[in-house]
Amino acid sequence: MSYRIGQGIDFHKLVEGREFWLGGILIPHNKGALGHSDADVLLHAICDAMLGALSLGDIGKHFPDTDAAYKNIDSKVLLKRCYDLVHEKGYTLVNIDSTILLQAPKIRPHVEQMQRTIAQILDISFEDVSIKATTTEHLSFIGREEGIVATANVLLQKI
Ligand SMILES: [Zn+2]
Protein backbone atom coordinates (compact mmCIF):
# COMPACT_ATOMS: atom_id res chain seq x y z
CA MET A 1 0.00 0.00 0.00
CA SER A 2 1.38 3.36 -1.03
CA TYR A 3 0.67 6.52 0.95
CA ARG A 4 1.56 10.18 0.45
CA ILE A 5 1.35 12.92 3.09
CA GLY A 6 0.86 16.62 2.40
CA GLN A 7 0.61 19.87 4.31
CA GLY A 8 -0.79 23.27 3.44
CA ILE A 9 -0.99 26.70 5.03
CA ASP A 10 -2.86 29.82 3.96
CA PHE A 11 -3.23 33.39 5.20
CA HIS A 12 -5.83 36.03 4.42
CA LYS A 13 -6.46 39.55 5.61
CA LEU A 14 -9.76 40.18 7.42
CA VAL A 15 -11.63 43.33 6.37
CA GLU A 16 -15.06 44.84 6.85
CA GLY A 17 -17.50 44.63 3.96
CA ARG A 18 -16.62 41.09 2.84
CA GLU A 19 -18.63 37.90 3.32
CA PHE A 20 -16.87 35.48 5.68
CA TRP A 21 -16.51 32.15 3.90
CA LEU A 22 -14.74 29.47 5.91
CA GLY A 23 -14.67 25.71 5.41
CA GLY A 24 -17.11 26.04 2.54
CA ILE A 25 -19.84 27.79 4.53
CA LEU A 26 -20.90 31.39 5.09
CA ILE A 27 -20.42 32.49 8.71
CA PRO A 28 -22.11 35.62 10.08
CA HIS A 29 -19.38 38.08 11.11
CA ASN A 30 -18.61 41.79 10.83
CA LYS A 31 -15.51 41.01 8.73
CA GLY A 32 -14.61 38.65 5.92
CA ALA A 33 -11.42 37.43 4.33
CA LEU A 34 -9.96 39.50 1.51
CA GLY A 35 -8.83 37.71 -1.65
CA HIS A 36 -9.26 37.18 -5.36
CA SER A 37 -11.57 34.20 -4.81
CA ASP A 38 -14.03 33.93 -1.91
CA ALA A 39 -10.84 33.75 0.22
CA ASP A 40 -11.78 30.59 2.10
CA VAL A 41 -8.55 30.08 4.01
CA LEU A 42 -9.37 26.55 5.23
CA LEU A 43 -10.30 25.20 1.80
CA HIS A 44 -7.16 26.78 0.33
CA ALA A 45 -4.97 25.09 2.96
CA ILE A 46 -6.62 21.73 2.20
CA CYS A 47 -6.10 22.28 -1.55
CA ASP A 48 -2.41 23.00 -0.98
CA ALA A 49 -2.06 19.93 1.24
CA MET A 50 -3.55 17.66 -1.44
CA LEU A 51 -1.43 19.21 -4.21
CA GLY A 52 1.65 19.05 -1.99
CA ALA A 53 1.13 15.37 -1.21
CA LEU A 54 1.63 14.62 -4.90
CA SER A 55 4.28 17.30 -5.56
CA LEU A 56 1.88 19.11 -7.89
CA GLY A 57 2.87 22.60 -6.79
CA ASP A 58 0.45 24.90 -5.04
CA ILE A 59 -2.95 26.49 -5.47
CA GLY A 60 -1.42 29.65 -6.96
CA LYS A 61 0.14 27.60 -9.76
CA HIS A 62 -3.13 25.87 -10.68
CA PHE A 63 -5.50 28.81 -10.11
CA PRO A 64 -3.50 32.06 -10.54
CA ASP A 65 -4.99 35.14 -8.89
CA THR A 66 -4.12 37.08 -12.04
CA ASP A 67 -6.70 35.00 -13.95
CA ALA A 68 -10.11 36.70 -14.13
CA ALA A 69 -11.73 33.25 -14.33
CA TYR A 70 -11.07 32.82 -10.61
CA LYS A 71 -12.35 36.21 -9.45
CA ASN A 72 -14.73 35.64 -6.52
CA ILE A 73 -14.82 31.93 -7.37
CA ASP A 74 -16.36 29.58 -4.82
CA SER A 75 -13.38 27.77 -3.26
CA LYS A 76 -15.46 24.58 -3.12
CA VAL A 77 -14.98 24.47 -6.91
CA LEU A 78 -11.21 24.75 -6.44
CA LEU A 79 -11.30 22.03 -3.78
CA LYS A 80 -13.16 19.69 -6.13
CA ARG A 81 -10.67 20.40 -8.94
CA CYS A 82 -7.73 19.64 -6.64
CA TYR A 83 -9.39 16.38 -5.64
CA ASP A 84 -9.91 15.55 -9.32
CA LEU A 85 -6.14 15.94 -9.79
CA VAL A 86 -5.58 13.55 -6.87
CA HIS A 87 -7.85 10.99 -8.56
CA GLU A 88 -6.14 11.46 -11.93
CA LYS A 89 -2.86 10.54 -10.22
CA GLY A 90 -4.46 7.35 -8.91
CA TYR A 91 -4.89 8.38 -5.27
CA THR A 92 -7.78 8.75 -2.88
CA LEU A 93 -8.03 10.75 0.33
CA VAL A 94 -7.74 8.96 3.69
CA ASN A 95 -8.18 11.86 6.13
CA ILE A 96 -7.64 15.55 6.78
CA ASP A 97 -6.50 17.22 9.98
CA SER A 98 -6.69 21.00 10.04
CA THR A 99 -6.40 23.96 12.38
CA ILE A 100 -7.86 27.44 11.95
CA LEU A 101 -6.15 30.29 13.79
CA LEU A 102 -8.41 33.26 14.44
CA GLN A 103 -9.52 35.45 17.31
CA ALA A 104 -13.22 35.81 16.45
CA PRO A 105 -15.92 34.65 15.92
CA LYS A 106 -16.24 31.34 17.77
CA ILE A 107 -15.86 28.55 15.24
CA ARG A 108 -16.95 25.51 17.22
CA PRO A 109 -20.71 25.92 16.50
CA HIS A 110 -19.92 25.80 12.76
CA VAL A 111 -17.42 22.94 12.69
CA GLU A 112 -19.83 20.09 11.98
CA GLN A 113 -21.39 21.90 9.03
CA MET A 114 -17.90 22.57 7.63
CA GLN A 115 -16.92 18.92 8.12
CA ARG A 116 -20.04 17.73 6.29
CA THR A 117 -19.58 20.24 3.45
CA ILE A 118 -15.94 19.28 2.88
CA ALA A 119 -16.58 15.54 3.28
CA GLN A 120 -19.32 15.64 0.66
CA ILE A 121 -17.03 17.30 -1.91
CA LEU A 122 -14.17 14.90 -1.20
CA ASP A 123 -16.28 11.77 -0.95
CA ILE A 124 -15.14 10.79 2.56
CA SER A 125 -16.84 10.46 5.94
CA PHE A 126 -17.23 13.68 7.89
CA GLU A 127 -15.36 11.94 10.71
CA ASP A 128 -12.32 11.88 8.41
CA VAL A 129 -12.35 15.69 8.21
CA SER A 130 -10.88 17.05 11.45
CA ILE A 131 -11.25 20.80 11.96
CA LYS A 132 -9.75 22.41 15.05
CA ALA A 133 -9.64 26.10 15.91
CA THR A 134 -7.53 28.17 18.23
CA THR A 135 -7.17 31.83 19.09
CA THR A 136 -3.72 33.31 19.59
CA GLU A 137 -4.68 34.78 22.99
CA HIS A 138 -4.91 38.25 21.37
CA LEU A 139 -1.30 38.03 20.16
CA SER A 140 -0.15 39.11 16.68
CA PHE A 141 -2.17 40.06 13.58
CA ILE A 142 -4.46 37.14 14.30
CA GLY A 143 -5.17 38.33 17.82
CA ARG A 144 -5.83 41.86 16.53
CA GLU A 145 -8.43 40.35 14.14
CA GLU A 146 -6.48 41.63 11.12
CA GLY A 147 -6.04 38.22 9.58
CA ILE A 148 -6.83 34.54 9.61
CA VAL A 149 -4.62 31.49 9.07
CA ALA A 150 -5.39 27.85 8.41
CA THR A 151 -3.16 24.80 8.23
CA ALA A 152 -4.06 21.36 6.94
CA ASN A 153 -2.46 17.95 6.67
CA VAL A 154 -3.79 15.23 4.43
CA LEU A 155 -3.02 11.57 3.86
CA LEU A 156 -3.53 10.09 0.39
CA GLN A 157 -3.65 6.40 -0.44
CA LYS A 158 -2.89 4.78 -3.81
CA ILE A 159 -6.06 3.28 -5.24
ZN1 LIG B 1 -6.14 31.62 0.13
At 25-59, the pLDDT tens digits run: 999 999 999 999 999 999 999 999 999 999 999 99
Peptide bond before residue 109 is cis, with ω within 30 degrees of 0? no
Rounded to the nearest angstrom, the distance between the alpha carbon of 3 and the centre of ligand 1 is 26
The helix/strand/coil state of 108 is: helix
Identity of residue 33: A
Q: 1 C-alpha to center of ligand 1: Å?
A: 32
Instruction: Please tell me the distance between residue 12's alpha carbon and the centre of ligand 1 in angstroms.
Output: 6
75 alpha carbon to ligand 1 midpoint, in Å? 9
Which one-letter DSSP state was computed for residue 55? T
- Specify the length of the chain in residues: 159
Q: The whole model's pTM is what?
A: 0.97
Encode pLDDT of 93-113 as tens digits. Answer: 999 999 999 999 999 999 999
State the distance from the centre of ligand 1 to the C-alpha of 41, rounded, in angstroms: 5
